[in-house]
Amino acid sequence: MEEFINLKTENEIILISISLIVGMIIGAEREYYNKSAGLRTFVLVSFGSCIFTILSAKMGMNSDDRIAANIITGIGFIGGGVIFKDENRISGITTATTIWATASLGMAVGTGYIYLGLFGMVLVILILNSLTYIQSLIDMHHKIRNYHIITSSYSELNYCKELFGKYNLKYEIIGENHRENNIDIEWRIVGKNENHKKLVQEIRENSRIIEFEY
């Protein structure tokens, strides 16, 4: 009986160790790119999910899916903490979904599906890295960027449109702010990333543009 308990304990230690490795590898990738959630977060998410899954089996619950559902709910709160809004976009969604995926891998390892957990880990790393190239390729040909351009008067509106047309950029006005001495117009500009760079370079050297940001 004691040998059986020791064997079972050894198996559980192996599962926990594998969950730590899964979390460390994914966390190291996020830490390398200086994301809001790094190495320690992913290690603890994978480890914690594995422990909770093992405990659910030890407690002999009639419905193991209750533990799984609670893990997913808890991970939702953690993921929400790394999502934040910049002026023009929302950041942290990829990191939040990676936390969610890592929790599922920890659960897979905890239930004994080691190969599923390791295979899932490899897929997560591939998705985070290889798809970045595809994303960059899309941005290269179809970059969407919001610009705040401040000019001295509304008459400069046509001049801005001429600049956008010069670099084959599509545009639309998405906001206006009429100040006492100038006008701040927010533009949504779409086009090749190379053309965005050329536009920014010309705006920097243009005396008719008082101020701009993107």
Q: pLDDT tens, 81-96? A: 777 766 556 677 888 8
- CB 190 within 8 Å of CB 170: yes
Q: pLDDT tens, 61-72? A: 555 566 777 787
Backbone angles phi, psi at 99, to 5 degrees: -60, -45
Higher-confidence residue: 171 or 214?
A: 171
Residue 40 CB partners (closer than 8 Å, separation 6+): 27
- CB 110 within 8 Å of CB 15: yes
Structure-token pair, residue 73: 């709910």
Q: What is the mean pLDDT of residues 133-147?
A: 86
Class of domain 142-213: alpha beta
Q: pLDDT tens, 158-179? A: 889 989 999 999 999 988 887 7
Domain locations in the chain?
2-139, 142-213
pLDDT at 7 > cutoff 50: no
Cα–Cα distance measured from residue 31 to residue 40, given in angstroms and rounded to the nearest whole number: 9
Q: pLDDT tens, 28-57? A: 988 888 877 788 889 999 999 999 888 887
- pLDDT score at 64: 57
Mean pLDDT (the chain, rounded): 84
What are residue 150's DSSP bridge partners? 184, 211
Structure-token pair, residue 59: 């407690």
How many helices and strands (H and E) does the chain possess? 7, 6
